[in-house]
A and B are shown apart, each in its own frame.
Chain A
Amino acid sequence: MKMELGQWQAAGNVAAPDGHEPVLAIVARGLVKRFDGFTAVDGVDLTVPEGAIYGVLGPNGAGKTTTLRMLLGIIDPDAGYRRILGGEPREVSHLIGYLPEERGLYPAMKAYEAIAFVGALRGLPLAEGRRRGKELLEEYGLGYAMDRQIRQLSKGMAQQVQILSTLVHEPRLVIFDEPFSGLDALNQGKLERMMRGLAERGTTVIFSTHVIAHAERLCDQVAIIAGGRVPFAGPVDVARDRIRPQVRLETRAADGAWRAALPADARHDRRQDGTSFFYFPLPPTGIEPLLRALIEGEAGILSLSIERAGLHDAFVAIAGEVAARALEENPEQEQAR
């Protein structure tokens, strides 16, 4: 299924660089999944262009894994539909690579055989899978461990082997569920580089995370998910623009007629040296009228900056404080930052 460009842009997306209709890797509309009367996913819409790095951002229990499982066809939605690479998930399973949140490989298999086995599941002949498995291990610095059994590898190494197994059949779409959890900072950086490399080669990368820093660094677009719903899906910049930029103003004078030009909710800090700091959202009228009022009122502008909101602020604004707190509950976030 192809989406009209108008619809695409109306959904807060941008046109492809050449102005043509973007090719979509994933289109999901109104996905609903209930477990024993509990609604885990409640009407999720996603639109992922091909070649993008797309983040599904939300706290634990928000419905990320269930959504990804529905996209992969592991479970069927109770309502809604999904098209993956233009087809049903099962029809295109050989074009998809998947890293589940709960990692697992056969402990008795050698590293390269484990990669080849996952390739074989995706339709790659075993011999070819073994060859590519060895190549991938060499390429990502794990060549020395290719003949080791999975049970002989450290947890982090086993996880890297599993990540490589998602790529052995050269998929067009890779879905990683919480790929950074369990990796140390060094390997997190390595994985980020790998994801960028995949996107550069035209592979669509979707990953779920509860760590905003990863999404902010990597993603072209994100879906913010909380309570089984997606209150926002689109480019990261659009998410940031959901909250107005913050103005930081430093003045010599503390008071004057010019104060009337500042928003009523502006926060004021007075320093010991007599200077004043004001913090407030950029007024809807823009910065120019304010600037004029400050100059005419002789506020004595020492500095003025407009700071664009970060993804974290956007997340708080979009998903709410509760979801943001749940997101921060995980100590891994701090580590990643």
Chain B
Amino acid sequence: MSGRLSTFAAAMVVARRDFGAILFSRSFIFFLIGPLFPLLVGTMASGVGQQVEANAGRATLALAMSPADAAAIRSSAHRLEPQLNGMVPELIVVPPMAGGRLPAPAHVLAHSDGAIGAVLSGTPAHPVLTGPEGLIEAWQGPVGLIAADTLRAAPTGFPPVTLTATKAAPVGDRIGRLRTAQAGQTLLFLLTMLLAGMVLSNLVEEKANKIIEILAAAIPMDAVFLGKLFAMLAVSFVGIAVWGATIGSVLLIGGHSLADFSAPAVGWPTFIALGVLYFAMAYLLLGSVFLTIGSMAATVREVQTLSMPVTMLQLLVFFFSSYTMSTPGSALEQAAVIIPFSSPFAMLARAAQSPDLAQHLAALGWQAVWVILFVRFGAQLFRRRVMKSGPATRRSKRANPQPQPA
């Protein structure tokens, strides 16, 4: 004999089944790795491009000087390289022609097949730099320093400079954080839309499998509804973990880090934690709406038709919260914070721009209330609608003989 399940326990039975089924389905694997392909290709292309650009930028400077001067220049360049950090071009010595005469710089450039960027001739006291205008202007400074070092007219090295980083100027800081907020909002929006769509397909599939009546008979419809939402939330966390880890690894390999973005006002760890919480709220709100729609639709086509207005509305909400993000504290921004659907987006933007944490507790509480209301309302509607399309009602209209007295 078994014992009766609580709504939560029943929801977990559904969630566990759905989670496993989705996670190990072929479509989920493709869903998971799908976005990574363009990312990997893009990263590889960008890496190759950067390498090409780096190689192209690090052109060679040919030394068309006497062997003694060329050796002195190379020695100084080698010594100064750590201080000049990449500004010193690669140096090669042009061998003298027959008779010991040095070739003219124009001749060297003409016969280098593009491998030589510029030619340094003359003497360290009177160096002459020949080459394309942009390049020789860029090399003018470093070459001057190297020549000065060769002449010992300047200190043999530069004293090490201790670096102390300070925050950027207020204007730059605000713009940077705005960009971080925008990136966070966009990511949140994309993930929410993607997964709310998945929960919808999952429900339609369930109706097609005709399993819904078994679920409805065994456990409260609220539990079915919650179980499906939880399962997809868990699936989404798997997705976020995989995508996050992959993107993070790619960025790290590429020498990038979160430091490339302006740090959000609440700091990265808190921002990420809030991002996850706001994602959960946004997803639960939207997911409950989509699930309710799913309960009313019998086919994928019907789902698409019914969900289109909601998708459009969600786009509007996203644009609204993006628009109001730049004017924190304004009436519009306050409205975006209060309206349940835009609240997670608006609050994530606030997290990027304001260090106040208390407001997030209040916002999460507010959103949680709406999540509960939406889930309950959605579950009620779901319960009322989902079993309506069964055989009983369909047939009632077809054949309905009246009893006759015995």
User: Which residues of chain A in 108-127 are interfacial with respect to chain B, using CB atoms and an 8 Å cutoff?
Assistant: 108, 117-124
A74 to B218, CA, bound (A): 9
User: Which residues of chain A have C-beta atoms less than 8 A from B383's C-beta?
Assistant: 75
Q: Give which listed residue, A69, A124, A170, A326, contacts B392 with CB less than 8 A.
A: A69
Provide the residues of chain A in CB contact with B388, threshold 8 Å: 35
Check if A62 is an interface residue, CB within 8 A of chain B: yes
Tell me the bound Cα distance from A74 to B215 in angstroms.
Answer: 9
Residues of A within 8 A of B211 (CB): 104-106
Query: Chain B residue with minimal CB distance to A40?
Result: B396
A40 and B392 contacting across the interface, CB-CB below 8 Å? yes
Q: State whether the Cβ of A64 lies closer than 8 Å to any Cβ in chain B.
A: yes
Q: Is B38 in the interface zone, CB < 8 Å from A?
A: no
Tell me the minimal C-beta distance from B393 to chain A in angstroms.
5
| Inter-subunit contact A117/B403 (CB<8 Å) | no
Please, how many angstroms separate the alpha-carbon atoms of A262 and B151 in the complex?
147
Partner of A232, one of B21, B210, B398, B406: B406
User: Which of B3-11, B186-194, B236-244 lies at the interface?
Assistant: B3-11
Give the CA-CA distance A94 to B25 in the complex, in Å: 30
Chain A residues positioned under 8 Å from B215 (CB to CB): 121
Interface residues of A in 33-77 (CB under 8 A from B): 35, 38, 40, 59-66, 69, 72-75
**Contact: A122 with B2, CB < 8 Å?**
yes
Within 8 Å by CB of B209, from A104, A231, A320, A321, lies A104
Verify if A319 is at the interface (C-beta below 8 Å from B): yes
- State whether A228 and B392 are in contact (beta carbons under 8 Å apart), knowing that A118-B214, A123-B3 are contacts in the complex: no
Q: Which residues of B contact A243 (CB under 8 A)?
A: 406
Across the interface, do B404 and A123 meet the contact criterion of CB distance under 8 Å?
Answer: no
Residue of A nearest to B215 (CB): A121
Contact with A along B1-25 (1 / 0, CB 8 A): 1111100001001100100010001
Asked if B95 is an interface residue, CB under 8 A from chain A, the answer is no
Check A59–B399 contact: CB distance below 8 A.
yes
Instruction: List the A side residues contacting B219 at CB < 8 Å.
Output: 93, 121
Q: Give the docked Cα–Cα distance between A279 and B347 (Å).
A: 87
Known A93-B217, A98-B217, A323-B401: A64·B210 in contact at CB below 8 Å: no
Are the C-beta atoms of B217 and A74 separated by less than 8 Å?
yes
Q: Mark A294-329, 1 if CB is under 8 A from B, else 0.
A: 000000000000000000000001111111011001
Is B234 located at the chain interface by the 8 A CB criterion?
no
Q: Which residue of B lies closest to A73 (CB)?
A: B217
Cα separation A91 to B217 with both chains bound (whole Å): 12
In the complex where A40-B396, A75-B387, A106-B209 touch, is A322 in contact with B214 (Cβ < 8 A)?
no
The answer to whether B134 has its CB under 8 Å from any CB of chain A is: no
Q: How far is the CA of A231 from the CA of B400 in the complex (A)?
A: 14
User: Residues of B at under 8 Å CB distance from A?
Assistant: 1-5, 10, 13-14, 17, 21, 25, 209-220, 383, 387-388, 390-393, 395-406
Q: Which residues of A contact B (CB under 8 A)?
A: 35, 38, 40, 59-66, 69, 72-75, 90-96, 98, 100-108, 117-124, 169-170, 224, 226-229, 231-232, 242-243, 317-323, 325-326, 329
Q: What are 23 A-B contacts defined by CB distance under 8 Å?
A: A61-B392, A64-B392, A66-B396, A75-B387, A98-B214, A101-B390, A102-B210, A102-B391, A103-B210, A104-B212, A106-B209, A106-B211, A107-B209, A122-B5, A123-B2, A227-B400, A228-B396, A228-B400, A229-B402, A318-B403, A318-B406, A320-B402, A320-B403
A100-B217, A242-B406 known; 14 other A-B pairs, CB under 8 Å? A63-B396, A66-B396, A75-B387, A91-B4, A94-B3, A102-B210, A106-B211, A121-B13, A122-B2, A122-B218, A123-B2, A231-B405, A318-B406, A326-B399
